[in-house]
Structure 1
């Protein structure tokens, strides 16, 4: 059987743009937003964060109750891995959280932002000092660098206060004397990059005191990071 078309009908189709099906839309125009929520303890509720993310239209949300002391945050890792996978397909991706403190503080947040920037993944904070959407090449990374500097300054001041208090009581500082702000900053950066305690210790160098030039032990690194996390958690719960 032969199908016939009238000349007028054929000409009409040639002069009109047919609607494109949704599946045929350019992938580059797609924008995927992935949510992440975290509470520090099992007693803390995630409801506020989850409600905020859902109200913002986020459909895929990763959440966990895990301390800032944890070296690995499985659900955050899963969220970032999914974001990288989607970004690799050509779609724009943004990681959305209620507030920047849910991702970490200071150096840890800056280290995560660097990873997202390298993968071309955006950040969006629904509230807090950094509220808004941030392009991977945007000014937010300058802000995060400033936060890192403030965090280092805070750590340095707290360390000096502790040393001075110990000296006034006539007590030695002990193993803590091998630690300075530069070492702490590097240790936090390496931890954020998923290095083990042994690997972190192998990359640090003691810069002062009797052990100058030596490597700290993994146990010293563990105490260093644990003390930092405890201070950060106290500050977070108080805010």
Structure 2
């Protein structure tokens, strides 16, 4: 029986250290992490790897439920996949485990709260952007990728996969920069 930790933050500039330290302190022998949005499962390759790796009796450990996902259906589907492998999920804060039925109920409720929180965040963000646009101070989001560097690497003969590895982004982002930059 293995305790396998999974840590996630949404953006490249966020820090995983607190989650990683907590998971190791909780006895997770293996900890996988990634910097990708939890809004969907798309692009969450480390999570897919963890789920594939789970065996009967193993435990998937996350620090908070929103590290698994922010959509109730997605979280419940993840829990179902984990259980199909004979494993279970443990959330550290608040402490909930799917070993018993009450854990399933609590995960469902917390998943709904996380989804509602995500909607509220998006709504507040949209309202803030609209106010900033109306007052003429909105300049758009800051660019997180060095687009000039990506184009220079392409011009130097590097392929999209190599550029993505070097810059620290997905190939999809590289292709998007190619389309935007010509």
Alignment TM-score > 0.5, same fold: yes
Residue 99 in structure 1 maps to residue 76 in structure 2: no
Q: Equivalent residues in 2 for 1:47-196 (5 A)?
A: 47-69=17-39, 71-83=42-54, 86-87=55-56, 92-105=57-70, 106-128=72-94, 131-135=95-99, 137-147=100-110, 151=115
CA 144–125 in structure 1, closer or farther in 2 if over 3 Å, else same: closer
Query: What stretches of structure 2 of length at least 5 have no aligned partner?
Result: 127-182
TM-score by length of 2: 0.56
Aligned CA RMSD, in angstroms, stands at 2.8
Aligned residues: 120
Check conservation: 1:52, 1:126, Cα contact below 8 A: no
Check conservation: 1:107, 1:147, Cα contact below 8 A: no
Larger radius of gyration: 1
TM-score by length of 1: 0.44
1:44-72 CA distance string (max 9 Å, x none): 10000000011111111111111234513
Q: CA deviation at 1:147?
A: 4.2
Query: What stretches of structure 1 of length at least 5 have no aligned partner?
Result: 1-30, 163-239
Cα distance in 2 for residues equivalent to 1:121 and 1:72: 23
Q: CA deviation at 1:107?
A: 2.3
Cα distance in 2 for residues equivalent to 1:74 and 1:138: 29
